[in-house]
Chains A and B, each alone.
Chain A
C-alpha cells in the first residue's frame, strides 16, 4: 500500500505551553536562538514548549492559521544550523517532550524495542538501558539491551537524531539511525498526525499518495535520482519502492515534526576489543583499512583515523599539558593512528580476531606491539578521551585566533566517498590543501570513506581560500559518487553543497515533495531549500 493517511488529533481543550514576547525570549531564552553551529539566529515572537504530540499539533495549527513559519528545535547539538531561527516568528522546542522510556518485545518480529518521545536525550536512553531503568510491558529483557547508534554528541535529542538520520563511529557496522527506526509518529504542517510503521507504506515505483484529513488526496512523485553510494544525509532519502518512513527520517524537520519513535534494540555484545594502532604512514593505514574491510572474520564496529597533521597538534598539546591531556606519549615513529573496535562473545572468537589482526598488520609491515589495546569499559573511556582531544584542540586554536580576527572559524567538511576511492581522495585532499598552504587536519570515519577535514584558517583570506577548496572537494566527491554531507546534514549552512550534489531540477522535485506535506512552507523555512 502506498497511501499515507494521517488522522486528525484530539485537540479539544488542548493548549500548548508557550512563551511570547521577543524581549522576554531574548533575555531569558536566548539559548534557543543558537545551536552548536554557532550560526547567529534572529529573535522569535513565540516559543512553544509542547509536552506531547497533541500539543505539537495545537501549536502548529495555531502557527499555520497565522500563516507564519516555525523552526523545530531539539537538543541544538547540530552543526549546520538546522535549529537556529532565522527570520522566522515561531520556534517549537521539543525539550519538554520527555516521557519515561518503555521497553517491550515486539510480538510479530520477536525484536526488543524502545518507545521514546522526541525530547529524550541519547545519553538518557543509553544510561537507562545500562541500568535497566525503564518501563517494561509483560516481559523483562533477559540481558542488557543495546542501542548501537553512537553519534558523538550524546546530549542530542532522539527526535533530532531521527530527523537528521544521525550516525557515529559504529555506523560502520551498525548503520545510521535510519536502520534502527521501526515506527514514528509525525505531526504534519496542518496539525494532522501520521503514524508510520516500517513495512506498512511503500511507494509504488516512484509514487506515494497522501490522503489529508479534509478528504483531499495528493500524489507525491519521487524524483528519479541516484543517491550516493555512501553514508549520506544530503537531501531526502529517495528510492524506487521505498518505505515512506524513510522519507521522514533525515528530512531535517521539513516534512513534519517527529514526536515519538520506536527503536529496534539488540542484546549487548558480550565483550569488546578496543585498540589504537600506531602506524608509520598514512599509506599503511589506507592499505590496512582495505584489507580489514574485505576480511571475513574481522568485522570492526568502528575504524577511526588520525592523520599526520592531527598528531602534530596532539603532540603539541601533550607537550604543553603532560599526561593530564589524555594524550598518550607517542613514539617519534608514529605518523598516523587507527582506532579499531571489534565485538566478540567467546575466547575462540577473540583468538581468531587476534590472529587475523596480526596477519593483516604483518602484511603492511606492522607488529602487534605498536598499539594500545584493552577490553574494559574503562579502556574505551580512556580512548574516547584521547579521540575527542583532537576536535577540542582544533576548537581551542580557533577560539584563540578568533580573538584577533573575530570572523574566523574552522571549516569542517563532512564528505564520504565509496571505499575504492579512499586512497585517491586522501591524496587529492592533501595535495590541494598543501598547495594552498592551509593549516588542516584529517580525521574520522575512515572505514566509511568518510573523513572530516578541519581547516584552521589564520586569516580572512585563508578562510575564503578554504571555502574555495571545500567546493572543489565537493565536486570531486560527487564525481566519485560520494556524498557532500555524510552525517551532519544540510541545515541552513550547507545548501550550496546540496546544489553541488544534485541538479536544480532534482532539488526542485524534492521541494515539490515538501509542498505536498507543507504547501504553505510553515516547517523549517530556510532549511534544505532556499
Chain B
C-alpha cells in the first residue's frame, strides 16, 4: 500500500504565550498545546491526493506521550493512521536530530510516495525539518508549495512560492513537500470524525523500532543548543525635528548620517 506521510508537530498555542519579564523565558504554565497551525494544510493536501490516487494517509510526530493528541487531531482531519515517535532517547532534539528521526521512521514504515510537512512550526520557526527529512532520505524537496498542478504515478508538478512569485517545478516521486496556507482550506472535523479521532490510539515507535543510530538522536545527535530565549529589544529613539521644510530636510539628512543609516562619499 502506497503511503502519503504527513509530519506534524505539537506546539504551544502562541496566541497565548507570554514571556516572564524577569527571567526572559517562555511562561509555559496554563498554555494550551495545539497542532501546529500549518499542519492541517499538509494533512488536507495529503487527503486530497489520496482521494485522487488512493493510498493511506499516515501522520507521524515525534514528541512526548501527550503529543498523541495531535495525531488524534490528524485522524479527525482525515488521516487514516498515526505514529507517535516517543521515548527518552529523543528528548532535546534539534532540527538535525528531529529530521533524522522522522526520516528513520519514514524508512521503517516504507512505501512512502509523498511526504508532506507544514512550511514550518510556529514555535521554532526554522522551516528546516522538511528539507532535513528530504536530505536524510536523499529525496527531492519541493518547498513552500502553494498548489499541486499535476500528479501521477511517476511525477508531480507543483507551484512553489518564492519571494517574488512562484516557480513551477516538476519532480520525480517519491518527494518531500512543505506546504503553505494558500494551498487549500482544511476541511472541518465533523461530529463523526472528531469522535473517531478522539477514540484513536496511535501506534508508538521507539528508537529501536525505527532502527535508529542512538548517537544521532535527541540531545546527543543535536549539534545546536538553545542557549537563551529572549525578547528582542525594541529600544526606540524618537527625535522630533522642527523648523521649516528645508531645515527639517537638512536636519533629517545629518541625523540619518550620524546614525549610520546614510553614508556619503
Q: Which residues of A contact B (CB under 8 A)?
A: 130-131, 275, 277, 323, 328-329, 350, 354, 357-358, 367-378
CB atoms of A323 and B185 under 8 A apart: yes
- Name 8 extra pairs, CB < 8 A, besides A275-B191, A354-B195, A373-B189: A275-B194, A354-B191, A358-B191, A369-B191, A369-B192, A370-B190, A372-B190, A374-B76
Complex CA gap A369/B244 in Å reads 69
Nearest CB of chain A from residue B180's CB, rounded to whole Å: 13
In the complex formed, the residue of B with least CB distance to A132 is: B30
Interfacial chain B residues near A372, Cβ < 8 Å: 188-190
In the complex formed, the residue of A with least CB distance to B199 is: A347
Nearest CB of chain A from residue B73's CB, rounded to whole Å: 8
Asked if B204 lies at the interface with its beta carbon under 8 angstroms from chain A, I say: no
Complex CA gap A368/B192 in Å reads 5
Interfacial chain A residues near B76, Cβ < 8 Å: 374
CB atoms of A130 and B30 under 8 A apart: yes
Asked if B80 lies at the interface with its beta carbon under 8 angstroms from chain A, I say: no
Interfacial chain A residues near B32, Cβ < 8 Å: 376-378
Complex CA gap A373/B192 in Å reads 8
CB atoms of B30 and A131 under 8 A apart: yes
Contact residue among B13, B30, B189, B192 (Cβ-Cβ distance under 8 Å from A374): B189
Asked if B139 lies at the interface with its beta carbon under 8 angstroms from chain A, I say: no
Interfacial chain B residues near A328, Cβ < 8 Å: 188
In the complex formed, the residue of B with least CB distance to A372 is: B188
Complex CA gap A377/B71 in Å reads 17
Nearest CB of chain B from residue A272's CB, rounded to whole Å: 12
Among A130, A323, A378: residue with most chain B CB under 10 A: A378
Contact residue among B185, B190, B198 (Cβ-Cβ distance under 8 Å from A369): B190
Asked if B34 lies at the interface with its beta carbon under 8 angstroms from chain A, I say: yes
Interfacial chain A residues near B194, Cβ < 8 Å: 275, 373-375
Complex CA gap A130/B31 in Å reads 11
Interfacial chain B residues near A370, Cβ < 8 Å: 190
Q: Which residues of B contact A (CB under 8 A)?
A: 13, 30, 32, 34, 76, 185, 188-195, 198
Nearest CB of chain B from residue A306's CB, rounded to whole Å: 16
Interfacial chain B residues near A368, Cβ < 8 Å: 190-192, 195
Contact A371 to B30, CB < 8 A, known contacts A323-B185, A329-B185, A378-B13: no
Among A328, A354, A357: residue with most chain B CB under 10 A: A354
Interfacial chain A residues near B30, Cβ < 8 Å: 130-131
Interfacial chain B residues near A130, Cβ < 8 Å: 30
In the complex formed, the residue of B with least CB distance to A322 is: B185
Nearest CB of chain B from residue A250's CB, rounded to whole Å: 34
In the complex formed, the residue of A with least CB distance to B37 is: A378
CB atoms of B191 and A371 under 8 A apart: yes
The contact sample of 14 A-B pairs, CB cut-off 8 A, is A328-B188, A329-B185, A350-B198, A368-B190, A369-B190, A369-B192, A369-B193, A372-B188, A372-B190, A373-B189, A374-B76, A374-B189, A375-B194, A376-B32
Among B188, B191, B192: residue with most chain A CB under 10 A: B191
Complex CA gap A204/B192 in Å reads 55
Nearest CB of chain A from residue B200's CB, rounded to whole Å: 13
Interfacial chain A residues near B190, Cβ < 8 Å: 368-373
In the complex formed, the residue of B with least CB distance to A370 is: B190
In the complex formed, the residue of A with least CB distance to B188 is: A372
CB atoms of B34 and A378 under 8 A apart: yes
Interfacial chain B residues near A275, Cβ < 8 Å: 191, 194
The 6 A-B residue pairs with the shortest CB-CB distance, nearest first, are: A368-B192, A372-B188, A373-B194, A373-B191, A368-B191, A371-B191
Nearest CB of chain B from residue A321's CB, rounded to whole Å: 13
Interfacial chain B residues near A277, Cβ < 8 Å: 191
Complex CA gap A374/B195 in Å reads 8
Contact residue among A329, A357, A367, A376 (Cβ-Cβ distance under 8 Å from B34): A376
Nearest CB of chain B from residue A441's CB, rounded to whole Å: 22
Complex CA gap A358/B190 in Å reads 12
Nearest CB of chain B from residue A271's CB, rounded to whole Å: 10
